[in-house]
Amino acid sequence: MHSWIDISPTSDFSMYNFPFGVYKTAEGKYHAASAIGEYVIDLHVLAEAKVFHGVLNLDKTTLAQSTLNSFIAQGKAITNAVRTVLQDVFGADNATLRDNAELRSKALLKQGEVQMVLPIHIPNYTDFYSSREHATNVGIMFRDPANALLPNWLHLPVGYHGRASSIVVSGTEIHRPKGQTKADDADKPSFGPCRLLDFELEMAFVVGKETKLGESVSTAHAEEHIFGMMLFNDWSARDIQKWEYVPLGPFLAKNFGSTVSPWIVTIEALAPFKVDGPVQEPEVLPYLKYEGHKNYDINLQVDIVPENGQGKTVCQSNFKYMYWNMSQQLAHHTVNGCNIQVGDMYASGTISGPTPDSFGSMLEISWQGKKPVAMPDGSERRFIQDGDTVVITGHADKAGIRVGFGECKGKILPAI
Ligand code: MN
């Protein structure tokens, strides 16, 4: 697929992608957007110019809202048809936009010159714990190296209900959280800024089709409910977490902020990158069995960039390592009749690979602070320091087809 737009071979936004997002216009309005090469595409402007007139039943007002929820809720028949029109309009032979300088100047904006916003209202957020390597590393560090995985782990995708209100778009600064911690040798807790601030390299999927209370989604139908995916940083305060998490799991160690990338890459754009998942042994219960390829080969990277300093790549991992896939997560989440809603966000859990350079958190990379990472400026990192920016990037690449996610970045400011 060739375009009349000059697209770098390393661009995340090829003719195979066309993700969806929302940006704030110079007039302070919100328009639905897509991306190609170095450009943001204003979908509202294209709709006004009747570019989508062939997409039957498209409600054009859904392209001029502050979130994509009502656009997504129209269903894949419509949202995928919009993507197909974009692929067509940006194709080398299509003159619609190519030869219309006035429309082009209104519809195409340079990325980096416009403000992307959180593209969805998120009714519910769940975080899973689905990387075997991550769960094993944590189990070795905090429990028993001989029995690192808890007895339930190989039988169900462990998860917890997280906080939706504090999920922010890439670029939003986050203050170091304060809270209760207790040192092992102290007899009572103390209060203050978190000292062990961490990132968690994750991906999240966004639900595009709701269910009613009482209904369940099978693994065979789960992907019909998945609109697309984003990069996700589940910021974690390890010292707060350690003191608070028993018996009900993470609470204030997680809910002070999570960062997502601005673009939702559709599950259809990721279809060429489907791969086999790990062998699941022991055999899972029937409702968790699945057929076909349900894992995705997506390269992931985490960089730490100090204030005014040179960055360092601290992790290179891959979404294909996940033990439990998204279809199993959704089947498990709904097997009891729990309903899902359009815009719901389901994060994967930290995505660690088999080798130390693929571990998805500083907790694992520095092995509880015992193996500090050397930074280019001579300093060391065990966890994240004030002024550091954590940048997650991700892309899939196969036979010349490249589909990427852009950036998921956040800077840590001192505690208030
Ligand atoms: Mn997490």
Q: Tens of pLDDT along 33-53?
A: 999 999 999 999 999 999 999
Q: Give the three-class secondary structure for 314.
A: strand
- Centroid of ligand 1 to alpha carbon of 140 (angstroms): 17
Q: pLDDT digits over 259-268, tens only?
A: 999 999 999 9
At the topology level of CATH, where does 21-117 sit?
SH3 type barrels. (2.30.30)
Among candidate residues 31, 44, 53, 134, the one labeled active-site is: 134
44 is catalytic: no
Amino acid identity, residue 99?
D
From the list 226, 392, 240, the residue with the least C-alpha distance to 314 is: 392
Residue 92 has a pLDDT of 97
What's the average model confidence in pLDDT over 345-360? 98
User: SS3 breakdown of the chain: % helix, strand, coil, rounded to 5?
Assistant: 20, 30, 50
For residue 202, report the distance from its CA to the centre of ligand 1, in Å.
7
Q: Can you give the pLDDT at residue 34?
A: 98
Measured in angstroms, how far is the CA atom of residue 128 from the centroid of ligand 1? 7
The DSSP line for 126-194 is EEE---HHHHHHHHHHHS-GGG-S-TTTTTS--EEE--STTEEETT--EEPPEEEE--TT-SS-EEEE-
Which of 42, 32, 35, 41 minimizes the C-alpha distance to 16? Answer: 35
238: β partners: none
pLDDT in tens, 207-259: 999 999 999 999 999 999 999 999 999 999 999 999 999 999 999 999 999 99
User: Mean pLDDT across the chain, nearest whole number?
Assistant: 97
Please give the pLDDT value at position 312.
Answer: 98
Domain boundaries, the chain: 21-117, 125-413
Q: What is the pTM of this model?
A: 0.98
Measured CA to CA, the distance from residue 197 to residue 327 in angstroms comes to 31
Residue 367: per-residue pLDDT: 98
Assign domain 125-413 one CATH number from 3.40.1030.10, 3.10.20.30, 3.40.50.720, 3.90.850.10. Answer: 3.90.850.10
Taking a C-beta distance cutoff of 8 angstroms, is the pair 337, 216 a contact?
yes
Task: Give 348 Cα–ligand 1 centroid separation in angstroms.
Answer: 7
